[in-house]
Chains A and B, each alone.
Chain A
Amino acid sequence: MKWRYIGKRLVAAVPVIFGLTVIVFFIMALIPGDPATAILGSYATPENVATLNTQLGLDKPLWQQYFTWLMNLLQGDFGRSYSLNRPVIDEVIERFSATLVLAGTALVICSIMGLLAGIFSAVYQYGAVDKGLTLIVLIGISTPSFWLGLLLILLFGVELRWLPVSGMYEIYGGGGLSDLLRHLILPAATLALVATGVIARLTRGSMLEVLRQDYIRTARAKGVSERSVILKHAFKAALVSVIPVIGIQAGFVLGGAVYVETVFQWPGIGRMLVTAIATRDILLVQGGVLVVAASYVLFNLIADVLQNLIDPRIAS
């Protein structure tokens, strides 16, 4: 039953993703300016542009370009990026893995911190802890991540010199796990902040609602320990409504990665897409969007399945 559900959802995702590639392709084509202009810059005479577009195969009708792209894709060929002069698939895989490391870490951080903050706030509703946490959470939600990133860089990178300012690995003598972690701390924390706030608010609300239920009172009345009441009885029930939001946050974290990757020079796919759009590198944009969209669909599917597992009502 469950596998059939997952299979169905995956099949349903296929037209969504392809619809998206059609939209992205034609939006890219509609933006004024073309790759040849981007490459030639000031030297983009109409004549030079026409010559270069022919060399790049961009003089064909749009539908034909899209069709060629699709046919090649079905044979596993994502094409070649003309702004980077290398196969799109190599670039996308390399960059997407970097984003996964960053976004994955951020997602773990924001889930743990958000849930903890939410539980504490709910348990101490209107107390000092709740108020303090609510304030921090509000600041977190309202802080633009690129600005926070710069502040963190100034403090930990420039003033204290505890952590590297940018990049993923040291150029010399880097490459190990501890090197990666050092580079990961600041961008991951920056990226996690907003999502932490959202999850914390939601967990708090959800917990408050559950804590007022009769069965919680019953549990307390029969002498179950408070820790058990909160973690086992209340938290598990509250989690049901929080998990799909974590799934959605996964998407936001991927989206927010664009800013954070730029500030911290993280070699991820968000930064790649921004550059690719600026240089009108349509094949690279297509490849990147395809992978990001697919992963977004996948994250939401995972969240659904998890919810399914936890909540017996949905499961039945």
Chain B
Amino acid sequence: MEEKMMKLVNHARKHIFLQISMIGLLLLAGIAGAATPPNVLVVGQIAEPKSLDPHAVTAVNDFRILMNIYDGLVQYKSGTLQVQPALAESWEISDDGLVYTFALRSGVKFHDGSDFNAEAVKFNFDRMLDESHPYHNTGPFPLSFFFSAIKEVKAVDTLTVQFTLDAPFAPFLSNLAYPTGLIVSPDAVMKHGNDFGRNPVGSGPFKFAKWESNSHVIVERNEGYWGGAPALEAVVFRPITDANTRVAEMLSGGIDMMVEVPPDNLQEMAKDPSFQIHEQAGPHLWFLILNAKEGPFKDKRVRQAINYAINKEAIVDNILQGTAIVAAGPTPPAFAWAYNNDLTPYSYDPEKAKALIKEAGFENAELTFYVTEGGSGMLDPVAMGTSIQADLAKVGLKVKIETYEWNTFLGKVNPGLEGKADMAEMAWMTNDPDTLPFLALRTAAWPDKGGFNSGYYSNPEVDDLLEKARTSTDQAERAELYKKMQTIVYDDAPWAFIANWKQNAVTSSNVKNFKLEPSFLLLLKGVSK
């Protein structure tokens, strides 16, 4: 019996060894390579792109690819959020701020060989805005409201295009520099129709080569680029949705660059000489919307007390591990020209907070706090929410947290907090100092009027300043108006101002000339490897 057992075991063993050695051989056959090809940059993205039609998408993730395939009429000057010429060489604005006339760059061709001209520009904006346009059905175009001020686009001659607006709209130029303003090839839209988003044609430094679903998008060098051909032969964008896997790919050499690195890993990678860390503060604000219509936050003193009670340094240093800075007001410092340098963040002062709450008569008040599990620009919302809850407990406020998944959360917060909650987390990334306050702080932006002022803040002076700033075409004058607005909003405290996020990226040490932009867009034209 014992002997037979041994035989059986030996027999099985032989087979197992055979199997193991076969697997081993297979492994050995494949061990070569893992490194990325020379002169080709492999970028780890956070998600699969939805479409490569710049007018049809809304996600920063998709913009990172698009900015390298297409050009806009204007672009952000490197390192700033101010516009400079791109496909338009110059422009003139009429005195009433209603007519913008652009002189276009000559000799520019789209990647399909067709000409870039005034008619092409007109086609782009008409497709987005005119419901009777034959190619309007290639949408929907969710961000077309960026250009809703446009009344008419006219091709004056081949290289002159004229935009007429309904009313003066100062952010117009910076909206043109946003990815929604990138110019696509009309011929390609006509040829591919609904499938244009999978067959993109622009005039940018790289041309689209291949999109393998859920695996990668490849773009190749445009030799005839008007601004000079890029150094890289090609760029591969790989969607790697899991942050841990993205880090593992970076560590194993499977990608050359990754964005949105988790704070923990950033600390580790900073110690490793084979990686370079890039950080750049951007136009981002993480804040709490306070319900000023009812309950304790109707009283300005309680709203200010919240700003004093929250230990923002601790959140930024411990939870976000230095990947953000403490916010001072409603406008992020990245909008350097419009930022009010005189503002200093509310200090961490629980005693002062307690005194203010006592003065207002809301000691031991109970508050409902909407927290999200995660979402665009929300950083680490659960940990941050919990930390805020603890801070408020220290000043005698009892906070009840309700946590929701991002889309559900937006569905609850955007229609307004009335009758539901006292405060809610929120974050915005914008391209112009106008956008956030205009959409979320004016009286005319209360949710029932179609805006994002979910906390019902209302101050006629702020309304007035924002209207004025939007219609002025003089940047110095706009800057003054925004600075004044910030001072008032800081004092009124309709929000608790928490953090401005620093975008980050890690590249392997052989990647040269890479720089993050304050616009949060990824520009790879000058990069080499």
Chain A: residues with CB nearer than 8 A to chain B?
31-34, 36-48, 52, 55-56, 83-86, 91, 94-95, 116, 120, 123-124, 150, 153-154, 157-158, 161-173, 178-179, 181-182, 185, 225-227, 230, 262-265, 267, 271-272, 275, 278, 280
A42 touches B428 (CB 8 A): yes
Instruction: Among A38, A45, A55, A165, point to the contact of B249 (Cβ < 8 A).
Output: A165
Instruction: Among B4, B252, B408, B447, point to the contact of A31 (Cβ < 8 A).
Output: B408
Distance of B244 from chain A, by nearest CB (Å): 6
Distance of A177 from chain B, by nearest CB (Å): 10
Using A45-B414, A85-B198 as known contacts, say yes or no to A171 and B42 having CB atoms under 8 A apart. yes
Instruction: Among A36, A56, A173, A271, point to the contact of B241 (Cβ < 8 A).
Output: A271
Alpha-carbon separation in the docked complex, A185 to B19 (Å): 14
Besides A33-B407, A33-B411, A41-B410, 20 new A-B residue pairs in contact (Cβ under 8 A), listed by A number: A33-B410, A42-B427, A42-B429, A43-B58, A44-B414, A84-B48, A91-B213, A153-B245, A153-B248, A154-B248, A158-B248, A165-B252, A166-B249, A171-B236, A173-B33, A182-B30, A226-B4, A262-B242, A275-B47, A278-B406
B411 touches A34 (CB 8 A): yes
B56 touches A85 (CB 8 A): yes
A-B contact pairs, 26 of them (CB 8 A): A32-B412, A33-B406, A33-B407, A37-B411, A40-B58, A41-B58, A41-B375, A42-B427, A42-B428, A48-B145, A55-B139, A83-B50, A84-B48, A85-B198, A120-B12, A153-B248, A158-B251, A164-B34, A167-B215, A171-B215, A178-B30, A225-B4, A226-B5, A264-B245, A265-B240, A267-B214
Instruction: Among A55, A172, A181, A262, point to the contact of B26 (Cβ < 8 A).
Output: A181
Instruction: Among B4, B195, B241, B375, point to the contact of A227 (Cβ < 8 A).
Output: B4
A172 touches B37 (CB 8 A): yes
Alpha-carbon separation in the docked complex, A40 to B26 (Å): 47
Distance of A235 from chain B, by nearest CB (Å): 12
Alpha-carbon separation in the docked complex, A137 to B126 (Å): 64
Alpha-carbon separation in the docked complex, A40 to B58 (Å): 7
B4 touches A39 (CB 8 A): no
By a CB distance below 8 angstroms, the chain A residues around B476 are none
Distance of A316 from chain B, by nearest CB (Å): 33
Q: Is the interface of A mostly helix, strand, loop or mixed?
A: helix
By a CB distance below 8 angstroms, the chain A residues around B244 are 150, 263
Alpha-carbon separation in the docked complex, A153 to B252 (Å): 9
Alpha-carbon separation in the docked complex, A196 to B246 (Å): 28
- Tell me the count of chain B residues lying within 8 A, CB to CB, of chain A: 75
Alpha-carbon separation in the docked complex, A42 to B412 (Å): 12
Distance of B238 from chain A, by nearest CB (Å): 7
Chain B residue with Cβ nearest A278: B407
Contact residues, B112-151 vs A (CB, 8 A): 139-140, 142-143, 145
Chain B residue with Cβ nearest A169: B215
B29 touches A178 (CB 8 A): yes
User: Does B191 have its Cβ within 8 Å of any Cβ on chain A?
Assistant: no
B415 touches A46 (CB 8 A): yes
By a CB distance below 8 angstroms, the chain A residues around B142 are 36, 39-40, 43, 48, 52
Contact residues, B165-193 vs A (CB, 8 A): none
B410 touches A37 (CB 8 A): yes
A47 touches B450 (CB 8 A): yes
Contact residues, B410-431 vs A (CB, 8 A): 410-412, 414-415, 427-429
Using A33-B411, A85-B50, A178-B26 as known contacts, say yes or no to A263 and B139 having CB atoms under 8 A apart. no
A37 touches B7 (CB 8 A): no
Distance of B418 from chain A, by nearest CB (Å): 14
A94 touches B240 (CB 8 A): no
By a CB distance below 8 angstroms, the chain B residues around A150 are 244-245, 248
A267 touches B140 (CB 8 A): no
Using A37-B407, A166-B254 as known contacts, say yes or no to A171 and B414 having CB atoms under 8 A apart. no
Distance of B6 from chain A, by nearest CB (Å): 10
Contact residues, B432-463 vs A (CB, 8 A): 439, 447, 450-452
